[in-house]
Structure 1
Amino acid sequence: SLSYGELSVRANRLARRLIAQGCGPESLVAVALPRSADLVVALLAVVKSGAGYLPVDPSYPADRVEFMLADAAPVAAISWSGRELVLPAGLPVVDIDAVDVSEFDGSVVSDADRVAPLRSSNVAYVIYTSGSTGRPKGVQVPHTTVAKLFANTEGVYGFDESDVWTMFHSYAFDFSVWELWGPLLYGGTLVVVDYVTSRSPEQFLELLAAERVTVLNQTPSAFYQLAEADRLASESGQAAELSLRWVVFGGEALELRRLSDWYGRRGD
Structure 2
Amino acid sequence: DHRALPAPEGRMQTGIDYVAARTPMEEQLEQIWKKVLGLPKVGVKDNFFEIGGHSLRATTLVAHLHKELDIEMSLREVFQHPTIEQMAEAVAGREQSAYASIPILKQSAYYPVSSAQKRLYILSQLEGGELSYNMPGAMTVEGALDRKRLEEAFRKLIARHDTLRTGFELVNGEPVQRIHETVPFAVEYVQASEEEAEVHVREFVRPFDLRQAPLLRVGVIELKPERHLLLIDMHHIISDGVSMGILTKEFIRLYEGADLPPLRIQYKDYAAWQQGEVHSRRMGKQEAYWLETFRGNIPVLDLPTDYKRPSIRSFKGNTLEFVLDKQMSEGLRQ
Q: TM-score, normalised by structure 1?
A: 0.22
Larger Rg: 2
